[in-house]
Structure 1
Amino acid sequence: MGVTSFPKFSKSHVPAIGNDIDILFFIKNEEVDLQYLNYLKEITSFSDEVIAHWLDVSVKTLRNYRKSESDLKESLKEHLVLLLSLYQHGIDVFGNAENFDKWLDTKNYFFDNLAPKDFLSTSSGIRFTDDRLTAMEYGDNV
């Protein structure tokens, strides 16, 4: 897996989910900040409540992050980078964020009849979801 480019960040890129070392060094060497958080909100149709759940913060904390220039915690940066990487992969597979959001919000047999979005609050859940996207790329009916 390579590096994924985001249209909003001409100088920035996010490593693919399967490459933990690249993600680690990306978080250490890039300024993962409010722009990344705002970009996630921009590309998804999910509410602040859902995004806050994914990031394991309260809605109030999420909104405060958006208003201030305070630094994000390392664990939050990592989770944010993983979510953005997942979104880029999902957009590549589904053609756009809207179709990917619909898939994330639909109950799925491979996710124990839960919606994939319910798995995005942990790194392992994001990786599992990303693996399902890769399976779809290779013709699996996910």
Structure 2
Amino acid sequence: MKKAREKATRKYEEKEATPLIVEEPGEAYLTLPAAHTVAMLGMQKNAQFRSVSSDNDFIELIREGVPKEAMNNLMHKTGITNTEMASITHTSDRTLRRYESGDRLPQEQSERVIELARLYSRGSEVLGGLDYFKDWMSTKLIPLGDKRPKEFLDTSLGIDLLMKTLGRIEHGVFA
């Protein structure tokens, strides 16, 4: 028994003595999430979106206004209806339909479109696919007060809450 304890102690001490070296993945760390978000918007071929590599770049896009085409692509990929998008962006369904594909959305609506694209991109990454994430978005969850995640999309704090919930899921904390 004493030998087993000594052996376990030695293994623990050896493990603790090994220095932990954590290296940042460099450029891939910054470009991967942005690239996924741009893809979620379907804007990979748009020159304005090709240079996006960080959140700072998204801030400039939001200020300039996101093309309506990006919102349409996002709605198509995520299954968000026109009525739902109008509610999420705090505008009317009629106003959204009036925009033409070349038009730029106002800053507030552009920001919400980017937030949604980031959320759906992150969700599909964490849950293993967009279809799984879309199912999750429509499922009542106890940690969210027995509400569907989709019910939180109309506020930035709600989207932030969902991002944090995805982070907990990714790290194995489900409640």
Deviation of 1:47 after TM superposition, in Å, equals 2.1
Matches within 5 A, 1:127-138: 127-138=160-171
Contact 2:127 2:133 in 1 (8 A): yes
Q: CA-to-partner distance for each residue in 1:57-91, whole Å, 9 max, x for gaps?
A: 222222222x3533311111111111111110011
Alignment pair present for 1:34 and 2:68? yes
The structure, 1 or 2, with the larger RCO (C-alpha pairs under 8 Å, 6+ apart) is 1
Aligned equivalent of 2:59, options 19, 24, 37: 24
Counterpart amino acid of residue 38 in structure 1: N
Alignment pair present for 1:51 and 2:81? no
Q: Could you tell me how far apart the structure 1 residues matched to 2:85 and 2:127 are?
A: 20
CA distance 1:102–1:12, change in 2 (3 Å): farther
Structure 1 or 2: more strand by fraction: 1
CA distance 1:13–1:106, change in 2 (3 Å): farther
Deviation of 1:4 after TM superposition, in Å, equals 2.2
Q: Could you tell me how far apart the structure 1 residues matched to 2:107 and 2:80 are?
A: 23
Instruction: State the 4+ residue runs in structure 1 displaced beyond 4 angstroms.
Output: 12-15
Corresponding residue for 2:15? none
Alignment TM-score, normalising by the size of structure 1: 0.82
Contact 2:120 2:130 in 1 (8 A): yes
Q: Alignment partner of 1:121: what SS? A: coil
Aligned equivalent of 1:96, options 98, 109, 129: 129
CA distance 1:121–1:104, change in 2 (3 Å): same
Which 5+ residue runs of structure 1 have no aligned equivalent?
A: none
RMSD: 2.3
Corresponding residue for 2:13? none
Q: Alignment partner of 1:4: what SS? A: helix
Number of aligned residue pairs: give it. Answer: 136
Alignment pair present for 1:4 and 2:34? yes
Q: Alignment partner of 2:34: what SS? A: strand
Contact 1:14 1:85 in 2 (8 A): no
